[in-house]
Amino acid sequence: MQPALDGLFLATMLTVTFHKLQWELAGSLTLSDVLTSVFLVLFVWDRFEHADARLTTTSAVALAFLLAFALVYIAGFYNLDTGQALAQWAKGMVKFVLHFGFLVAGVALLARRSIRFYWYALAAFLGGIALNAAYGVVQLLLAEVAGTNLDELLIEPITSRQTGINVFGAVGGTQEVFRPNALTGDPNHLGIELLVPLLVLTPLYLRLEPGHRLKTPLAVLLGFLLVVLLATLSRSALLGLACGALVLALPYRRHLRRPAFLVPLAAVAVVVGAVVLARLDFFLTVLRARTNTSRGAASPHFEVYGFVPDIISSNPFLGLGLNNFAVYYEFVTGRPDFGPHSFYVATIVETGIVGAALFAAFVVWLFRRLGAARRIGRALSAARDPLAARVRPLAWGMTAALVATLVANVFYLTMTFYYFYVFATLAAALPVVFGRRRRE
């Protein structure tokens, strides 16, 4: 059963950002949700078959968080008073159980596997995001050059859902401005998800020995991912990238003056500069639109914070109920599926002070796990273990990616998506997997 378990685990990692691959089966279930359902059933069956219910301390803590969140969400259930609200709550609970269940089982699985398998899992996760970016480039080129909807050719026949590239607007009334959304469904989601591979791989790349066989491929990959992030025109992604880069600048500032960092960055600048200069007036118009700070342009992102005081005064502790922002504020937004444009607004509005405090504790726990991984890296370095040159950069990269994601979600809510729980799985398991090497 181990090959099947490992295969499902890696397949979930690979496809977790492919949001457009979803079907209406007891709610919207993505391909990764289906894979996770089978994985969790097999994982429980395997543990039962081997009479092995043991959990590492990290898995046990993750399970405790799962139960605590479930209690908050179930308590919030009693605030629901419409059938629509109940349906939304049920959809949210199904997603929560699948995604957080994967976190618990994933940490337990990684604790039983080798260090090599951990690298496979990380490669599958980051490779899936890179494949998403590659799809986005093809999507953008076909839309720009031929006016072709790639999703119509590849995605709609599989899912029967109408999808396509994002159209930001038109310059001069005729030239459409396309923003790649790849398989994520939204260019801002794609941009924010790209923060993870960019920030996780950068310190690993900087610490590679000269002449290492992965040095050039990683440089090309990082440059490519940065170009795609810029093409999304996502302000939240750029804000997150800046904050994540500041985190990495602390331990790796001496590397920022070296050719290994400056050459790929210059190559990106040349490519982007050449594209911009070829259509200068077009891109200046787009840039002015994306940097517009007028009230009308910024209001959708800031006005949602005005809902928080109302919830604090009416339902302060448990909020309106999981996944119920759109239900209760449809009379304001005019849309039954309107998201709050902020993970923090969603958390407070839907789960109240208790839910927000619990999630804050969960994030602190993730930072502490990454701190433990950095200490393991220092111990391996003191023992002159070559693995230290991989563990500490990976821990720093994940720390920067977590900071960047937290910042980017001030105006978006990708932390409710499955990819964040997969990232949390890898972050929480990092000191567990490499701690064995330290003890050895």
Task: Give tens-digit pLDDT for 125-145.
Answer: 999 999 999 999 999 999 998
Of 214 and 287, the one with more pLDDT: 214
Average of per-residue pLDDT across 59-74:
96
d(Cα 108, Cα 66) in Å, to the nearest integer?
14
- Contact between 142 and 148 under an 8 Å Cβ cutoff? The reply is yes
Name which of 353, 359, 344, 358 is nearest 311 in CA terms.
Answer: 353
CB atoms inside a 10 Å sphere around CB 40: 19
Q: In the prediction, which pLDDT does 172 show?
A: 66
Q: How would residue 85 be classed by pLDDT, with cut points 50, 70 and 90?
A: confident
Q: Which two tokens stand for residue 317?
A: 């502790």
Of 137 and 303, the one with more pLDDT: 137
d(Cα 229, Cα 192) in Å, to the nearest integer?
8
Q: How would residue 21 be classed by pLDDT, with cut points 50, 70 and 90?
A: very high
Average of per-residue pLDDT across 184-201:
96
Name which of 145, 150, 146, 154 is nearest 166 in CA terms.
Answer: 150
Does the pLDDT value for residue 297 go beyond 60? no
d(Cα 123, Cα 352) in Å, to the nearest integer?
37
Rounded to the nearest integer, the mean pLDDT of the chain is 89
Of 405 and 336, the one with more pLDDT: 405
DSSP code per residue over 281-324: HHHHHHHHHHT--SHHHHHHHHHGGGHHHHHHHHSTTTTT-TT-
Does the pLDDT value for residue 389 go beyond 60? yes
Q: In the prediction, which pLDDT does 54 show?
A: 84
Does the pLDDT value for residue 332 go beyond 60? no
Q: How would residue 416 be classed by pLDDT, with cut points 50, 70 and 90?
A: very high
Average of per-residue pLDDT across 246-251:
94
Q: How would residue 299 be classed by pLDDT, with cut points 50, 70 and 90?
A: low
Q: What is the DSSP letter of 265?
A: H
Does the pLDDT value for residue 152 go beyond 80? yes
Name which of 107, 103, 128 is nearest 118 in CA terms.
Answer: 107
Among 4-18, 160-174, 422-436, the range scoring the smallest mean pLDDT is 160-174
Does the pLDDT value for residue 271 go beyond 60? yes
| Residue that the structure tokens 């005064």 belong to | 313
Q: Which two tokens stand for residue 433?
A: 């997997």
Q: In the prediction, which pLDDT does 27 show?
A: 66
Q: In the prediction, which pLDDT does 168 show?
A: 82
- Contact between 194 and 225 under an 8 Å Cβ cutoff? The reply is yes
Does the pLDDT value for residue 229 go beyond 80? yes
Among 10-14, 291-295, 310-314, the range scoring the smallest mean pLDDT is 291-295
- Contact between 66 and 101 under an 8 Å Cβ cutoff? The reply is yes
The string of pLDDT tens digits covering residues 231-245 is 999 999 999 999 999
d(Cα 402, Cα 32) in Å, to the nearest integer?
22
CB atoms inside a 10 Å sphere around CB 260: 16
Q: How would residue 18 be classed by pLDDT, with cut points 50, 70 and 90?
A: very high
The string of pLDDT tens digits covering residues 361-388 is 999 999 999 999 999 988 887 777 777 6
3-state DSSP call for residue 30?
strand
Q: What percent of the chain has pLDDT over 90?
A: 63
CB atoms inside a 10 Å sphere around CB 359: 19
Among 32-41, 165-174, 318-327, the range scoring the smallest mean pLDDT is 165-174
Name which of 137, 158, 143 is nearest 30 in CA terms.
Answer: 158
Does the pLDDT value for residue 173 go beyond 80? no
Give phi and psi for 175, each to the nearest 5.
-85, 105
User: For strand 175-179 and strand 166-171, is the pairing parallel, antiparallel, or unpaired?
Assistant: antiparallel
Q: In the prediction, which pLDDT does 339 show?
A: 66
Q: Which two tokens stand for residue 245?
A: 């880069």
- Contact between 123 and 157 under an 8 Å Cβ cutoff? The reply is no
Average of per-residue pLDDT across 206-225:
93
Q: What percent of the chain has pLDDT over 70?
A: 92
DSSP code per residue over 123-151: HHHHHHHHHHHHHHHHHHHHHHHT---HH
Among 147-161, 228-242, 337-351, the range scoring the smallest mean pLDDT is 337-351
